Amino acid sequence: MNDGAGFADISPTTLADLLGRAQVMDIGIRPLWDSMPRVAGPAFTVRCPPGDNLMLHAAIHRAGPGSIVVVESGDVDYALAGGNVCAVARRRGIAAFVADGVIRDLAEVREMGFPVFARGVIPIPGTKAAVTPLDTRVRCGGVDVDPGDIVVADEEGIVVVPGARRKRVLLDARRRSAAEAAETLTDWETAHRARIDALLTANQPTD
């Protein structure tokens, strides 16, 4: 079961408003092509030392269907994965890769439609030598990610919902989204002007 399924219709912008900056990955980790669909799912976490991709290659055979493989690497000199790795991940039901690093074979990955959020593309692969534990806390894009945290990613950015808070956050996000959908632009404009005017008054410099 994909614990993140309920988050698929929630925008990262809504989640960011609720969770704050600490749960939002930095802007360097982006969808690698335009019009990539939103993905949401529980994190399966991987740590790859710079220049090595062994554990990501191991993870695609161990991560469950619907999971998002989140990779701590911080290396942009060697690719973590290529077309075949992404194809196997897709066939096994993995929802996406979110990688603090780079991949290769972009045309293949784009054509198959496997979502990858990463720092970019480079043609040279990493080595396969370093064994590190799978599914432990990692740091990706400036955010600590634990196994089972819910990752929501699209063109707006990537938000990590702590697993222990996912039910409350989902409920609050649905309420917020419903309220925003019911609000007309005129309603928003009126409330916005009143709020901004009040802030201008409250923050007016004094002599």
Distances (CA, A) of 3 to 57, 67, 114, 149: 24, 9, 20, 9
pLDDT of 22-34, one tens digit each? 999 999 999 999 9
Length in residues, the chain? 207
2 pLDDT more than 70: no
151 has binding-site annotation: no
64 neighbors 45 (Cβ within 8 angstroms): no
166 has binding-site annotation: no
82 has binding-site annotation: yes
Which residue(s) pair with 144 in the sheet?
A: 139
The Cα 188–Cα 67 span in angstroms is 37
pLDDT of 41-55, one tens digit each? 999 999 999 999 999
The Cα 25–Cα 149 span in angstroms is 14
For range 150-168, the mean pLDDT = 97
The Cα 90–Cα 171 span in angstroms is 30
Here the tokens at position 157 are 């950015």
104 has binding-site annotation: yes
53 has binding-site annotation: no
The Cα 98–Cα 181 span in angstroms is 29
Is 5-171 a CATH 3.50.30.40 domain? Answer: yes
The Cα 18–Cα 169 span in angstroms is 8
159 has binding-site annotation: no
Percentage above 70 pLDDT, the chain: 99
159 neighbors 20 (Cβ within 8 angstroms): no
